[in-house]
Amino acid sequence: MLTGGTVGTALQAASKHGNVLVVRYLLDQGADPNAPGGLYGNALAAASSSKFSKNIVVVQLLLERGSNVNAPAGRKVNALDWAAGPDNEKLVRLLLEWGAEARAALGPGESDQDLGDAEELVTLLCRR
């Protein structure tokens, strides 16, 4: 396994940059989607941190291949914590559909009472 640098593994690097073909190839060759390392902690978090529109395909692929949606994610809590922000509604919804722990992605000054229903949650996470 290639490791090192900010993105950790080769799978994390390909995931961060939305390279679907390389991600698929590495997974087909046995790369562990949950391998820890780097700034993002894992490939799913690396893909979720990027604003490339094609990264939603990478995130879906990683989830289908066994990525733990709530795995520790570097300096953030989980992939949802990396994804939360403006213009990322589709990715936030996808991670929530796969069981991402929303409570973990709450920001400073936000509480469980702010979670509300699913629509309120998506709005809350995407206005960051």
Cβ burial, residue 37 (10 Å; 0-12/13-18/19+): buried
Residue 27 lies in a domain: yes
pTM of the model: 0.82
Residue 68 lies in a domain: yes
Q: At 105, is the pLDDT very low, low, confident or very high (cuts 50, 70, 90)?
A: low
How high is the pLDDT of residue 77? 76
Total structural domains within the chain: 1
How high is the pLDDT of residue 64? 98
Residue 4 lies in a domain: no
Residue 14 lies in a domain: yes
What is the extent of the structural domain holding 101? 10-126
Read off the CATH number of the domain in which 82 is found: 1.25.40.20
Give residue-wise pLDDT tens across range 50-101: 877 779 999 999 999 999 999 988 777 789 888 887 778 889 889 989 998 8
CA 1/CA 21 separation, integer angstroms: 18
Beta-carbon count within 10 A of 93 CB? 19
